[in-house]
Amino acid sequence: MKDNVLQQDPIAAIATPLGIGALAIVRMSGQGVLAIAEKVFRKAGSNEDCALSDSPGYRAHFGRLYDGDRLVDEVVLLLFRSPASFTAEDMVEITCHGGPVVVKAVLKLLLDNGCRLAEPGEFTRRAFLNGRIDLTQAEAIGEMIHARSESAYRTAANQMKGALAHKLDALRSRLIESRALLELELDFGEEDVEFQSRDELRARVDELRREVSELVDSYQHGRLMSEGVATVIIGRPNAGKSTLLNALLEEERAIVSHMPGTTRDYIEECFIYHNTMFRLTDTAGLRDAVEEIEHEGIRRSYEKIAEADLILYLMDISEDDFMEEVATIKDIRDEYAGTELLVVANKSDGAPDADQRMQKVGEESGCRVLGISALRQEGLDKLKDEMARLTEGLDKLHEASVLVTSMRHYEALRNAEDALHNARELINTEADTELIAFELRSALDYVGEITGRVINEEVLNTIFDRFCIGK
């Protein structure tokens, strides 16, 4: 933590969701919040205003809040003294009764007595500015709050603990060291001294690049852990896409979360199976002759396919012309070669020779084919097992190593990787020290941006604006 805590103007906000509950928390942070609490709080069994300013930190006080003579609520005040608080400023948490009207009255009392309503994420922003947490930890708090699956939550918790930050700080120190030696050479200018041999430097840059690349590569897995596996169900109209979607969601009804899609062309819903979250999209049907009116929907479908981690191609195996779909399957396989594709042969209940048919499709298309009956809910466990295979081993991987889960971190690391690549090329071509130093400086800046060692106001705004007020 920084030695000098900056205590900014006092802010207040409701920290718990507005609704009916046993208790709720309203909190304050900043210069003079103890004095504000003192003005409105009377300790139980006393008619005197309470001298909270003399109280030590980490102390709870039971009593009542008053607006003049009017009782507002019976509360517990929890005091934190700078720097031992979340924001590192003086803080007061007021636990009051959990009704929306009560909570708002408590907040209003604080605002009337000198607090300003906090901006979204302002508490966390102050924690960052006072060096209590770095940016990756601040973001992890946001991700943990929004986590919709166990794996997303655990990945965020790991990041909040500072695993990523430590790794990046260690990388940074080594980059600084290499660069400092190069800058020394520059200072000596004409004298043609080398403080580290070019071979040494090359080895260092290679090692750093390898570590950065590992982090970049972990993004694919990290994203699956935190956002879930983006899965699209495609196929001709009437193949049974909606029936399958409903069957998958119905079985997991207890843990289904609804996320209405942004357009009516597709719906997106989530279910969790074996700790992995799947985000399922049922797209508008694919067909060759497209009527104008459907065009937009189908274009969006293709966009969804491009973004997917897993494509479920659903076909009606009971149709006589089932082999005609092989061409489409092959097209999709080639078009989206980097994406996992699973062919699902639906309506196997409607074709006595379904097994032979599936085998034929498998042989012709070169894809794995799985038979189900969405209507009778047969074969769904096998299908889900197969879907989960995608993320198999991710849990173990993630326990052992640091995963990059955020697009922002990923992009910065990609840039750092490029800069290190350039540095390597420059060393090989015996380029000027100045040019090599420049590339190392860029790599350093990119890594520093992730943890917030290099502060970029715009980045800060986008991060903290996503928080809710009170966080």
| Residue 241 assigned as binding residue | yes
| Residue 108 assigned as binding residue | no
Q: Considering only residues 65 through 124, tell me which ones interact with ligand GDP, judged by CB under 6 A.
A: none
Task: Name which of 401, 419, 410 is nearest 450 in CA terms.
Answer: 410
CA distance 38 to 33: 8
**For ligand GDP, which residue of 239, 345, 367, 463 counts as binding (CB under 6 A)?**
239
Task: Name which of 318, 387, 313 is nearest 355 in CA terms.
Answer: 318
**For ligand GDP, which residue of 136, 373, 406, 422 counts as binding (CB under 6 A)?**
373
Query: Is residue 238 at the binding interface for ligand GDP, with CB under 6 A as the rule?
Result: yes
Q: Shortest approach of ligand GDP to residue 240 CB, angstroms?
A: 3
For the chain, the maximum distance between any two Cα atoms, rounded to a whole number of angstroms, is 88
Of 371-379, 422-430, 440-448, 458-466: span binding ligand GDP (CB under 6 A):
371-379
Of 49-57, 67-75, 347-355, 434-442: span binding ligand GDP (CB under 6 A):
347-355
Torsion on CA atoms 458, 460, 466, 471, rounded to nearest 10: -150
Task: Name which of 436, 454, 412 is nearest 178 in CA terms.
Answer: 436
| Residue 239 assigned as binding residue | yes
**For ligand GDP, which residue of 17, 19, 21, 350 counts as binding (CB under 6 A)?**
350
Query: Is residue 352 at the binding interface for ligand GDP, with CB under 6 A as the rule?
Result: no
80 touches 90 (CB < 8 A): yes
Of 83-91, 130-138, 343-351, 437-445: span binding ligand GDP (CB under 6 A):
343-351
Q: Shortest approach of ligand GDP to residue 346 CB, angstroms?
A: 5
Based on CB atoms, which residue is closest to ligand GDP, 130 or 346? 346
Query: Is residue 125 at the binding interface for ligand GDP, with CB under 6 A as the rule?
Result: no
Instruction: Name the burial class of residue 210, with classes exposed (0-12), middle (13-18) and buried (19+) by CB atoms within 10 angstroms of its CB.
Output: exposed
Start-to-end CA distance of the chain, whole Å, equals 20
CA distance 236 to 172: 52
Helix or strand or coil: residue 84? coil
CA distance 40 to 34: 10
Q: Considering only residues 279 through 318, tell me which ones interact with ligand GDP, judged by CB under 6 A.
A: 285
Helix or strand or coil: residue 281? strand
> Structure tokens of 422?
């350039």
Query: Is residue 451 at the binding interface for ligand GDP, with CB under 6 A as the rule?
Result: no
Of 167-175, 257-265, 368-376, 441-449: span binding ligand GDP (CB under 6 A):
368-376
**For ligand GDP, which residue of 167, 347, 409, 424 counts as binding (CB under 6 A)?**
347
Query: Is residue 243 at the binding interface for ligand GDP, with CB under 6 A as the rule?
Result: yes
**For ligand GDP, which residue of 76, 375, 388, 468 counts as binding (CB under 6 A)?**
375
CA distance 33 to 226: 37
Query: Is residue 462 at the binding interface for ligand GDP, with CB under 6 A as the rule?
Result: no
Q: Shortest approach of ligand GDP to residue 335 CB, angstroms?
A: 20
DSSP string, 392-422: TTHHHHHHHS-----HHHHHHHHHHHHHHHH
Based on CB atoms, which residue is closest to ligand GDP, 377 or 401? 377
Query: Is residue 136 at the binding interface for ligand GDP, with CB under 6 A as the rule?
Result: no
| Residue 258 assigned as binding residue | yes
Based on CB atoms, which residue is closest to ligand GDP, 183 or 349? 349
| Residue 283 assigned as binding residue | yes
| Residue 238 assigned as binding residue | yes
CA distance 234 to 236: 7
Based on CB atoms, which residue is closest to ligand GDP, 107 or 239? 239
CA distances from residue 266 to 233, 303, 346, 446 in whole angstroms, order as listed: 10, 11, 20, 37
**For ligand GDP, which residue of 154, 241, 357, 409 counts as binding (CB under 6 A)?**
241
Based on CB atoms, which residue is closest to ligand GDP, 134 or 269? 269
Based on CB atoms, which residue is closest to ligand GDP, 32 or 285? 285
Task: Name which of 138, 166, 174 is nearest 444 in CA terms.
Answer: 174
398 touches 154 (CB < 8 A): yes
Residues in contact with ligand GDP by CB under 6 A are 235, 237-243, 285, 346-347, 349-350, 373-375
**Binding-site entries for GTP:** 238-243, 257-263, 282-285
